[in-house]
């Protein structure tokens, strides 16, 4: 298998261990079919493929080595994306029968009809692992639009899944696109005045003086989570588990990571009730890794 990934860290390995636990929740859930311990995953594996190697180690995927030292997938399904031409070519060769594409945002937005109809066979998935190494406010297609597409694809199959997002904290807030943080703050303000999210408002007011006095990582994580929960609720999913992390060992880029496990709700339940319950969970403690 590939050599140890040069960007590995003990903090990142702790996050990966949590990924494993969330995948187990999906595998043990009620809305499963087919091979109960095999997963279908969308991921950004980078050249080191550390997430794929870990999931193979845990039995969620299986590879067969070939005579050329490439890897033939014999259990599970992988759809991966890589913008770097050099790494994309490496993954294309190394992962013999996996789907390996270039630009994730463009691929999703350019193939909405095909993916929705199933002529492009990607969904349903058990795990979506969006492990960004660049500023997500500068994506070619906004993260909010991508999230909306992902939920619209998954709901057609009524399947539970886990969603992971990891992204770097910019060196300065000014490095974000001008409207990005303002939009996240606006989303939080709306929840503070929305009668359907009174639990969130009460918890926020107990913990914080104002939005302006909260840390950047709070605005980024909680604001983005609210965008995600808006889509999950409107597409019939309810949040079952979530965790938020802020990490970065000395000399490394500070990173933020959010983990969610969503369950498709078959019974009728008012959307505002689901959203009210779920959005209050965005005020869990953001864990800082030691």
Condensed to tens digits (0 to 9), the pLDDT of residues 239-278 reads 999 999 999 877 788 999 999 999 999 777 788 899 999 9
Condensed to tens digits (0 to 9), the pLDDT of residues 12-71 reads 999 999 999 999 999 998 777 666 789 999 999 999 999 999 999 999 999 997 778 899
| Tally of CB atoms within 10 A around 160 | 23
Residues 6+ apart with CB under 8 A from 249: 9, 10, 11
For residue 48 the two structure tokens come to 């080191």
For residue 265 the two structure tokens come to 């709700």
Q: Contacts for 54-58 with beta carbons within 8 Å, 24 or more apart?
A: 54/16, 54/19, 54/20, 55/20, 55/23, 58/20, 58/23
| pLDDT above 90: percentage of residues in the chain | 78
In this predicted structure, the answer to whether residue 176 has a pLDDT above a threshold of 90 is: no
Note whether 134 and 168 are within 8 A (CB): yes
Kindly state the DSSP code that residue 117 receives in the 8-state scheme: H
| pLDDT above 70: percentage of residues in the chain | 96
Nearest of 146, 82, 84 to residue 109 by alpha carbon: 146
Element (H, E) at 137: none
Condensed to tens digits (0 to 9), the pLDDT of residues 77-99 reads 999 999 999 999 999 999 999 99
Residue 147 phi/psi, 5-degree rounding, is -60, -45
Residue bearing tokens 């959203």? 275
For residue 131 the two structure tokens come to 């492990």
For residue 119 the two structure tokens come to 């002529």
Kindly tell me the burial class for residue 104, based on how many C-beta atoms sit within 10 Å of its own C-beta (0-12, 13-18, 19 or more): buried
Residues 54 and 73: their CA atoms lie apart, in Å, by: 14
CA 101 → CA 21, 50, 120, 259, distances in Å?
27, 18, 13, 24
First to last CA, the chain: 29
């Amino acid at each position: 298998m590939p050599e140890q990934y040069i960007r590995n860290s003990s903090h990142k390995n702790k996050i990966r261990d949590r990924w494993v636990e969330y995948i187990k929740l999906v595998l043990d859930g009620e809305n499963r079919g087919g091979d109960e311990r095999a997963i279908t995953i969308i991921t950004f594996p980078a050249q080191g493929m550390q997430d794929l190697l870990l999931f193979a180690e845990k039995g969620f995927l299986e590879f067969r080595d070939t005579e050329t030292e490439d890897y033939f997938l014999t259990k599970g399904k992988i759809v991966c994306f890589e913008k770097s031409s050099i790494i994309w070519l490496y993954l294309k060769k190394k992962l013999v029968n996996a789907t390996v594409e270039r630009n994730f945002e463009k691929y999703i937005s350019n193939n909405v009809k095909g993916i929705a109809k199933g002529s492009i066979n990607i969904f349903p998935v058990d795990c979506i692992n969006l492990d960004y190494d660049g500023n997500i406010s500068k994506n070619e297609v906004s993260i909010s639009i991508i999230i909306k597409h992902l939920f619209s694809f998954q709901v057609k199959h009524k399947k539970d899944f886990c969603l992971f997002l990891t992204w770097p904290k910019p060196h300065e807030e000014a490095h974000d696109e001008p409207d990005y943080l303002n939009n996240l703050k606006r989303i939080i303000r709306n929840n503070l005045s929305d009668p359907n999210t009174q639990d969130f408002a009460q918890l926020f007011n107990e913990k914080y003086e104002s939005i302006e006095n909260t840390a950047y990582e709070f605005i980024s994580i909680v604001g983005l989570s609210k965008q995600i929960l808006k889509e999950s609720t409107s597409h019939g999913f309810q949040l079952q588990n979530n965790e938020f992390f802020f990490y970065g060992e000395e000399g490394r880029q500070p990173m933020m990571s959010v983990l969610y496990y969503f369950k498709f709700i078959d019974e009728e339940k008012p959307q505002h009730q689901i959203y009210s319950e779920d959005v209050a969970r965005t005020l869990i403690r953001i864990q800082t890794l030691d």
